[in-house]
């Protein structure tokens, strides 16, 4: 719902990465207005072995996430679960 103000608490990527491959990097951000660039948090890495979730505290009405991969090998992303809190509405 676009009327609600939201906060991303954490994300749970479901990805398969090669054992010796580079980790995936996730970055999330938010903005209160659709024509304003999102304010981004610090990127966090996910390797699937030591981390099962990435903690963020990103508020905004319009949310954004970005995933970066800096390796030449393949990876498989089957889904992302997002722990989202709606704190208020218009």
Q: For residue range 11-46, what is the model confidence (pLDDT) as tens digits?
A: 999 988 877 878 889 999 999 888 999 999 999 998
Q: Would you state the pLDDT for residue 64?
A: 92
* Residue 3 pLDDT greater than 80, yes or no: no
Distances (CA, A) of 16 to 21, 46, 55, 67, 73: 10, 10, 19, 14, 11
Q: Would you state the pLDDT for residue 54?
A: 93
- Residue 46, burial from CB neighbour count under 10 angstroms (0-12, 13-18, 19+): buried
Q: Would you state the pLDDT for residue 90?
A: 62
Q: Would you state the pLDDT for residue 1?
A: 66
| Secondary structure element (H or E) that encloses residue 62, with its range | strand 62-68
pTM: predicted TM-score of the whole model, two decimal places: 0.79
Distances (CA, A) of 90 to 9, 37, 58, 61: 21, 21, 19, 11
Structure tokens at 60: 């905004």
């Amino acid at each position: 719902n676009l009327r609600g103000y939201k906060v991303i608490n954490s994300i749970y990527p479901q990805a398969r990465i090669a054992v010796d491959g580079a980790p995936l990097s996730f970055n999330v951000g938010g903005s209160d207005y659709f024509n304003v660039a999102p304010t981004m948090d610090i990127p966090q890495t996910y390797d699937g072995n030591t981390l099962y979730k990435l903690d963020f505290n990103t508020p905004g009405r319009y949310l954004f996430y970005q995933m970066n991969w800096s390796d030449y090998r393949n990876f498989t992303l089957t889904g992302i679960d997002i722990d989202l809190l709606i704190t208020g509405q218009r």
